[in-house]
A and B are shown apart, each in its own frame.
Chain A
Amino acid sequence: MTETFRDARAPIDALRKRGRNLTESFFLSLIRLLGSVGALILFAILFFVAYNGIHILSWEFITQPPLDAMTKGGIFPVIVGTVLLTMLCMIVVMPIGVTTAIFLSEYAKPGLLLKIVMMSIYTLAGVPSVVFGLFGLAVFVVTLNFGMSLLAGSLTLAIMVLPYIISTSEEALKAVPYSFKEASLACGATKWQTIRKVILPTALPGILTGAILGTAKVSGETAPIMFTAAAFFTTGLPRSVFEPVMALPYHIYVLATAGTHIEETRPIQYGTALTLIVLVLGMNLLGIILRSRQRKKRAW
């Protein structure tokens, strides 16, 4: 009896399965196609910039200041400016971001307040970067009177990247197995000892990966530094955090849109763009490699 029943159903099952396979393979092909388009665009941009910029890249280009109204020379202060902006930004944002993440994942009690805080963070992450630029202008440059400066720019970038650092750190902290926490507490550790000795060290690789990807994000931003830190041209390197700096993304913007030498400086524009892309992609790559290595290495 049961056997006949099963036999009768078999062809229907087979049919249904084939239908499912068809839709599945259709969507798989679609995803593959769209994925390849994305990769293709990336390679096209890379190729375009590299093709136009590679011949100007040289040791002199990255170690010398711009000369002759920026039509000649290199981009040394521009690179230094971006590195300083990024570093100062990360120095400010990491302690705040990680502390907030610890609070959110370990201390905050679930409830309305936590929901509102999380919503704010997610919303903040979606705000266009030019809005952060205006905010930085109003708060750091004008109200706090830092002027157009390295400090004002770094703080603005820090605020912009803060939600990203909080959420990547929180994710890393949440990925620490509950059993580690239990083991630590059962050994008579306090909550803070558990966080410091077990949870943070275990989450550290994930937090650092977030920091590297955040650095890559920050170093390529133009809008937040446009009104707060970036100088058209400086004669040398900044001597204090209250001085404006040149920066890679802004330098490209300036050379390509302002002044009387737009055509003459094309090679420098492409060279600067290439430098920036290499920097950002390099950091992204490092972050992605680190992340995949952690995932593989993770023994729990």
Chain B
Amino acid sequence: MVAGKNIFELKDFSFYYGDFLAVKSVNLGIEARKITAIIGPSGCGKSTLLRSLNRMNDLILTSRVEGEVLFHGVDIYRKDTDVIELRKRVGMVFQKPNPFPSSVYENVCYGPRIRGIKKKSQLDEIVENALVRADLWKEVKDKLHESGMSLSGGQMQRLCIARSLAQEPEVLLFDEPTSALDPISTANIENLLQELRKTITIVIVTHNMQQAARISDYTAFMYLGELIEFGETDTIFVNPYNKLTEEYITGRFG
């Protein structure tokens, strides 16, 4: 892998909750415009690692990091980092769809609005664009002013994706985005991710190994806070280098 293509570069990155070391000295590169999947048994630090990429872990008062997370070559844990700008460029979609209790329209233009965009025509355009990209426009174009919470689970999750897309992010982080969804909604989201990959870098945490195998270009396998193996998805699933990885993907534990 060529270092220059990596949008994120983790260098000896460790994450502590208080005294508890949740991510242990991880070295990892995330290539631009590819899908990188993070897999591993529950509690192994996948979410922690993912949330370190847009500093969502800042909310936890007792947390502490060591090492570096380079975004375009700059460490985002430097003191002078503009976390607001970082989170605009590195968006996040959560496990449980979490639209705001407002209309579909207001949900999507939440980010643009807080950045001071007021013009109706401009907001309309942003909302339509984002909903089209999230493959939701056809389903909601007649109920833009109905509550975002009245949608189905899969639609809500795509609404959350649209809300992130409205910010024109470079990277989207997904934390088990389909684990609360039915198989059809899951397939829709997987197709959507394939489409988004053409323009956006995607990092996805998933519990579902088939999903990682289906959609990702690279896979990282974590175990007890450590990055055990990282490589092209085809290699990892067909010919894993590490014994633990092999045991995990063949379903012998997890």
Q: CA A179 – CA B149 in complex, angstroms? A: 13
Interface stretch of the complex, out of A141-149, A189-197, A255-263: A189-197
Asked if A186 contacts B101 (CB within 8 A), the reply is no
Asked if B92 contacts A186 (CB within 8 A), the reply is yes
Contact check: which of B92, B115, B149 meets A300 at CB < 8 Å?
B149
Asked if B98 contacts A182 (CB within 8 A), the reply is yes
Q: CA A193 – CA B98 in complex, angstroms? A: 18
In the complex, B88 has a CB within 8 A of chain A: yes
Contact check: which of A188, A197, A202 meets B87 at CB < 8 Å?
A188
Report the minimum CB–CB distance from A66 to chain B (whole Å): 50
In the complex, B19 has a CB within 8 A of chain A: no
In the complex, B167 has a CB within 8 A of chain A: yes
Chain B positions 75-93 with a Cβ under 8 Å from a chain A Cβ: 84-88, 91-92
In the complex, A16 has a CB within 8 A of chain B: no
Asked if A187 contacts B110 (CB within 8 A), the reply is yes
In the complex, B100 has a CB within 8 A of chain A: yes
In the complex, A28 has a CB within 8 A of chain B: no
Asked if B91 contacts A179 (CB within 8 A), the reply is no
Asked if B54 contacts A197 (CB within 8 A), the reply is no
A contact residues around B92 at 8 Å (CB): 186
Interface size on B, residues (CB 8 A): 29
In the complex, A26 has a CB within 8 A of chain B: no
Asked if A300 contacts B114 (CB within 8 A), the reply is no
Contact check: which of B85, B96, B101, B164 meets A187 at CB < 8 Å?
B164
In the complex, A138 has a CB within 8 A of chain B: no
Asked if B91 contacts A187 (CB within 8 A), the reply is yes
How many residue-residue contacts, CB under 8 A, span A and B?
Answer: 66
A contact residues around B164 at 8 Å (CB): 186-187
A contact residues around B115 at 8 Å (CB): 188
Asked if A185 contacts B87 (CB within 8 A), the reply is yes
Asked if A180 contacts B100 (CB within 8 A), the reply is yes
B contact residues around A184 at 8 Å (CB): 100, 110
Report the minimum CB–CB distance from A262 to chain B (whole Å): 56
In the complex, A109 has a CB within 8 A of chain B: yes
Report the minimum CB–CB distance from B170 to chain A (whole Å): 13
Q: CA A183 – CA B147 in complex, angstroms? A: 16
Asked if B114 contacts A189 (CB within 8 A), the reply is yes
In the complex, A299 has a CB within 8 A of chain B: yes
Asked if A179 contacts B98 (CB within 8 A), the reply is yes
Contact check: which of A179, A190, A202, A299 meets B94 at CB < 8 Å?
A179
A contact residues around B163 at 8 Å (CB): 183, 187
Q: CA A265 – CA B59 in complex, angstroms? A: 64
Q: Determine the main DSSP class of A at the interface with B.
A: helix
Q: CA A190 – CA B111 in complex, angstroms? A: 11
Among B56, B100, B149, B163, the one with the most A-chain Cβ atoms within 10 Å of its Cβ is B100
In the complex, B184 has a CB within 8 A of chain A: no
Q: CA A293 – CA B96 in complex, angstroms? A: 25
* B149 nearest in chain A by CB position: A299
Asked if A188 contacts B61 (CB within 8 A), the reply is no
Asked if B98 contacts A187 (CB within 8 A), the reply is no
Q: CA A101 – CA B81 in complex, angstroms? A: 30
Asked if B149 contacts A188 (CB within 8 A), the reply is no
A contact residues around B85 at 8 Å (CB): 188
Q: Mark A57-73, 1 if CB is under 8 A from B, else 0.
A: 00000000000000000
Given A187-B110, A188-B84, residue A180 in contact with residue B98 (CB < 8 A): yes
In the complex, B22 has a CB within 8 A of chain A: no
Asked if A179 contacts B147 (CB within 8 A), the reply is no
Q: CA A248 – CA B176 in complex, angstroms? A: 60
A contact residues around B96 at 8 Å (CB): 179
Chain A positions 167-185 with a Cβ under 8 Å from a chain B Cβ: 177, 179-180, 182-185
Asked if A188 contacts B88 (CB within 8 A), the reply is yes
Among A185, A187, A202, the one with the most B-chain Cβ atoms within 10 Å of its Cβ is A187
* A194 nearest in chain B by CB position: B114
In the complex, A198 has a CB within 8 A of chain B: yes
Report the minimum CB–CB distance from A177 to chain B (whole Å): 8
A contact residues around B110 at 8 Å (CB): 184, 187, 189, 197
Chain B positions 127-160 with a Cβ under 8 Å from a chain A Cβ: 147, 149, 160
16 A-B pairs besides A183-B99, A197-B113, A299-B101 with CB distance below 8 A are A179-B96, A180-B98, A180-B101, A182-B94, A183-B94, A183-B100, A185-B56, A185-B59, A185-B87, A186-B94, A188-B86, A189-B110, A189-B114, A193-B114, A198-B100, A299-B149
Give 26 CB contacts A-B under 8 Å: A177-B98, A179-B96, A180-B98, A182-B56, A183-B94, A183-B98, A183-B99, A184-B110, A186-B56, A186-B87, A186-B91, A186-B92, A187-B87, A187-B110, A187-B111, A188-B84, A188-B85, A188-B86, A188-B115, A189-B84, A189-B110, A189-B111, A197-B110, A201-B102, A202-B100, A299-B149
A-B pairs, top 8 by smallest CB distance, nearest first, are: A188-B88, A179-B98, A186-B92, A188-B87, A187-B111, A299-B149, A183-B98, A188-B84
